[in-house]
């Protein structure tokens, strides 16, 4: 596991390839990311102080990616890390790659003084949910009678 250096051409290429493969998959929405966006991705992430990524390599081949963003918990008055994308190359799933990358994310979150990791997962993504549960994630709720938190969105651009 390695923390991605966005200005490293090998890391930038791995990030773009893995993220685009994820976007093209059913769990990523089934659509390619436009080439213009992919071309800007590493540079845009480099500009964000709150972004970091973890890459998994097997020899010289990038096989996994986790993109993360630091946010803030007002209740804990501490930073938190949102795990935004988790990608494992299809040929390497089921080998502990995601868990190893999440372990590195947790280490980096502890280093930053964060209180928790958060993520969202599609309801129908059983394999990912299994990995996340084994790693210690669970659905979020403040009180059982209020129910579990649900992720919503409102696009502000096309």
Q: What would the two tokens of residue 82 be? A: 């949102």
Please state which CATH number belongs to domain 2-146: 3.40.630.30
**At residue 140, what are phi and psi to the nearest 5 degrees?**
-95, 135
Strands (E), the chain: 2-3, 51-58, 61-73, 78-88, 117-119
Where do the domains of the chain lie?
2-146
Q: What is the pLDDT of residues 36-80, one digit of tens each?
A: 999 999 999 999 999 999 999 999 999 999 999 999 999 999 999
HSE-CB at 145 with a 13 A cutoff on CA atoms is: 0
Q: What is the pLDDT of residues 114-148, one digit of tens each?
A: 999 999 999 999 999 999 999 999 999 989 999 99
**pTM of the entire predicted model:** 0.94
């Amino acid at each position: 596991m390695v923390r991605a250096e966005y200005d490293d051409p090998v890391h930038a290429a791995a990030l773009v390839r893995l993220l685009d493969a994820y976007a093209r998959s059913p769990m990523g929405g089934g659509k390619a990311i436009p080439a213009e966006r992919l071309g800007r991705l590493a540079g845009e992430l480099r500009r964000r102080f709150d972004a970091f990524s973890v890459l998994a390599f097997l020899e010289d081949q990038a096989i996994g990616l986790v993109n993360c963003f630091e946010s803030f918990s007002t209740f804990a008055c501490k930073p938190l890390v949102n795990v935004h994308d988790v990608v494992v190359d299809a040929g390497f799933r089921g080998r502990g790659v995601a868990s190893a990358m999440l372990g590195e994310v947790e280490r980096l979150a502890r280093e930053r003084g964060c209180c928790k990791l958060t993520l969202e997962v599609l309801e129908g993504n059983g394999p990912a949910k299994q990995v996340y549960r084994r790693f210690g994630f669970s659905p979020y709720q403040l009180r059982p009678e209020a129910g579990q938190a649900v992720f919503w969105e409102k696009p502000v651009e096309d």
